[in-house]
Structure 1
Amino acid sequence: MFNNFSNTLAAAAGATGVKGDTKKSMSPTLRADIYSAIDQVKPWLVGGTGGRQAGDGVAYQTIIARIQQHFPDLKMGLDAARNTEHEVAVIVAGITNMILEMSKWDGMAGAMAMRTWVDTLSDAHGKISTASTGAKGGSRKEQVGRGMTRGINQLTDVTLMTRDFAARIQIISLLKSVNTKIHGAGSDEARQGEALWSSKFI
């Protein structure tokens, strides 16, 4: 199932010319769209206020529309819509890839945006109710947390990342920290994330 999401994101990267030399400059709206998407996604992740939220099969559409301005082939598959974990994974990966794309053109601006993004994910996860929803996948907090780490670890396209060494170190360290912030130090997810992102320093 998640292979389909990975293929979708890879196709989006190719379609927008973010790989290779076909794109000669950064989109003039990319930076603003990143921060707008981050602002949109936080209440969507937190939910619980009577408004639209991740997993409702509808509210993701305004967020994904912004991502599609830069990755037009990105779609929310039928098996992902109305599934909290899967919706979160796709949206988190899409915004992360937008930031990595910006980092290719401006490494330090990308690192600053990634810090804002990681802090937003951590803060949003901390505000989600731990109450059980009765769903098979556990509480909504657990589902969103798994979606965040899947989006970061499995669906993010690392080939978009800057080659600037200093910025790359910062970005990788921030992405690595998501697993610890969401699942706790010493958790299996934190150890797996540590190993995964440490390998990206090469």
Structure 2
Amino acid sequence: MFRDLAQLGVKSSTSEKKSMSPTLRSDVYTTIDQCKAWLAGMRGQTGDGVSYAPMLNTIKKHFPNTTIGLEALGQIEVEVGVIVGGITNMVLEMSKWEALAGGMAMRTWVNTLVNVYATIPQSSKKERIARGIVLGINQKTEYSLMTKEFAARIQIISCLKSLCPKIFGTGSEEGRQAEAMLSSKLI
């Protein structure tokens, strides 16, 4: 009877990690700093398919299946989406093991995204970066990684839900749509 559980995709408890990676916390903050510089540097260049490599390598250390395919080279939205989703996953993974630290890291991550986005001059590239951020938060993030601890979970959700209105502007149609999509994933 129980032999078929593996075929159904049910993980055994022995296959799950027993503790947090010893480098996860430092990797989260290092990657946030790298992303800050990377997004700020996108002001004048197009997606080059290479400059995100250090961040992607760190993300892959914790989530080996994270990739940006060759078809996405030069597509800013996809590049930004994968990096934003990967870093968000790292923060959520950290929250699973250290709930309060994960909540604080999420606040740092969201504030970094908002502050860097505000420095980018108005252009079509800024719009593509905004769509990439929303893509990363709404489609590239695995919310099952989030802590089960109530207070930290509320803090993380609050941070994430505040991101879209800050990126698109409070009351904007894009902000409301992105926030509604995020809410549907978190409920």
So what's the TM-score if we normalise by structure 2? 0.87
1:152-167 to 2 correspondence within 5 Å? 152-167=137-152
- Report what 1:96 is aligned to: 88
- Matching of residue 150 in structure 1 with residue 142 in structure 2: no
- Counterpart residue type for residue 119 of structure 2: K
Q: Tell me if structure 1 keeps the 8 A contact 2:143–2:186.
A: no
What is the alpha-carbon distance in structure 2 between the residues aligned to residue 172 and residue 193 of structure 1?
14
- Counterpart residue type for residue 36 of structure 1: T
- Report what 1:74 is aligned to: 66
Of the three residues 25, 50, 67, the one matched with 1:58 is 50
> Cα distance, 1:68 vs. partner?
0.9
The number of equivalent residue pairs is 177
- Give 4+ residue runs of structure 1 displaced > 6 Å after superposition: none
CA RMSD of the aligned region, Å? 2.2
Q: Tell me if structure 1 keeps the 8 A contact 2:43–2:120.
A: no
Of the three residues 113, 121, 127, the one matched with 1:121 is 113
> Cα distance, 1:54 vs. partner?
6.5
Q: Which runs of 5+ in 2 are unaligned?
A: 1-8
User: Structure 1 62/195 Cα, relative in aligned 2: closer, same or farther at 3 Å?
Assistant: same
- Counterpart residue type for residue 99 of structure 1: V
What is the alpha-carbon distance in structure 1 between the residues aligned to residue 33 and residue 87 of structure 2?
11
- Report what 1:187 is aligned to: 172
Percentage of matched positions with identical amino acids: 57
- Counterpart residue type for residue 194 of structure 1: E
> Cα distance, 1:193 vs. partner?
3.3
> Cα distance, 1:22 vs. partner?
1.4
What is the alpha-carbon distance in structure 2 between the residues aligned to residue 73 and residue 33 of structure 1?
17
> Cα distance, 1:201 vs. partner?
5.2
User: Structure 1 32/128 Cα, relative in aligned 2: closer, same or farther at 3 Å?
Assistant: same
Secondary structure of the corresponding residue to residue 139 of structure 2: helix
Deviations 1:53-80 (A, max 9, x none): 6711110111101111101121111122
User: Structure 1 20/166 Cα, relative in aligned 2: closer, same or farther at 3 Å?
Assistant: farther
Q: Tell me if structure 2 keeps the 8 A contact 1:84–1:143.
A: yes
So what's the TM-score if we normalise by structure 1? 0.81
Q: Which runs of 5+ in 1 are unaligned?
A: 1-13, 132-138
What is the alpha-carbon distance in structure 2 between the residues aligned to residue 106 and residue 83 of structure 1?
35
Secondary structure of the corresponding residue to residue 70 of structure 2: coil
Of the three residues 101, 111, 135, the one matched with 2:103 is 111
Deviations 1:102-145 (A, max 9, x none): 000111110000000000000111111224xxxxxxx1111111
